[in-house]
Amino acid sequence: MLKPSMLAVIAVLAAVTTLAACGSDPYAGREDRIADRTYETMRLAELHSAAIADPLRPADEVARDQFRHPDRMLAFAMIGPGDKVADIRPGAGYFTRLFARTVGETGKVYAFVPNRTAERENPRADALVAAYPNVLRVNGDLNTMSFPEPLDVVWMSQEYHDFHIPAFNTDVAIMNRAIFNALKPGGYFIVIDHSGRAGTGHTEVQTLHRIEGASLRAEVEAAGFVFDGESTALVNPADDRTINVFDEAIRGRTDQFVYRFRKPG
């Protein structure tokens, strides 16, 4: 006669067999799912490499790749074909070009230029529009920014601290909420900025153009975002974070944090 413990084991095995037979096995297809994710990662890596190799990228931007690590930034943002991306204050378009090639014909990149800086920055955004048919310039107020369609990613590189400067006349809490509303559920807000020392908050945004990462994170989370990860690709321990980011001693090589925030859903 079988012991009760053995009968229990047999019952569990029978249940698992029954689940597998009816297609409810929780482990069914596990290997296939892992393979699918691996394949998707490889496919995106190939697309990102092709975007980085884009012959339309200016030589001076390519020269900065060693410091900006575009391969790691694209991978961290998980940008892929068909995505709708907003590049906030894109400047000369370092990342806009990379996004345009990555999202492809079915995607869209919105080069958002704030009204305050439009006169100076619109021509550069228009040059990007002329070079890439899937790039569209959008002007607006940072407090009320909106886009023609829900977005997969909002990207802000080395700009967040500026919006704390009084001259921008921006309420950062309201701006963050506008970004939240512009994203699809599950969409990402990626922020790169120059690191400030612990405890400085946003008190040095105008003098040093730096912001404390913890302070920024708290502000973004207050808008409803969930912190989803960070990259150490742009960390530079040699930067003591006490000098202006435009000082030639550190310019282009500052210690920077890279945060990914997710809109729940």
Cβ atoms of 255 and 67 within 8 Å: the answer is no
Of the chain, the end-to-end C-alpha distance in Å amounts to 53
Confidence check: pLDDT of 37 > 60: yes
Any idea what the Cα angle at residue 119 is, between residues 117 and 125, rounded to 5°?
A: 80
Where exactly are the structural domains of the chain?
A: 7-53, 58-262
Token code pair at residue 259 = 């945060």
Strands (E), the chain: 84-88, 108-114, 135-140, 151-157, 183-194, 226-231, 256-262
Mean of the pLDDT values across residues 52-63? 96
What are the pLDDT digits (tens) for 207-242? 999 999 999 999 999 999 999 999 999 999 999 999
Backbone conformation region of residue 107, classed left if phi is above 0, alpha if psi is from -120 to 50, else beta = beta
What are 119-161's pLDDT values in tens digits? 999 999 999 999 999 999 999 999 999 999 999 999 999 999 9
pLDDT for 45: 86
Among residues 195, 194, 202, the alpha carbon closest in space to that of 219 is found at 202
pLDDT of 21 above 70: no
Class for the domain spanning 58-262: alpha beta
Provide, rounded to the nearest whole percent, the portion of the chain with pLDDT above 90: 82
Residue 35: pLDDT band (50, 70, 90) is low
Q: Report which of residues 12 and 182 the model is more confident about.
A: 182
- Tell me the backbone φ, ψ of residue 137, rounded to 5 degrees: -80, 135
DSSP 8-state secondary structure symbol assigned to residue 195: B
Report d(CA 197, CA 182) in Å as an integer: 31
**Alpha-carbon dihedral sign for residues 18, 19, 21, 22:** positive
Angle separating helix axes 118-131 and 94-103, nearest 10 degrees: 30
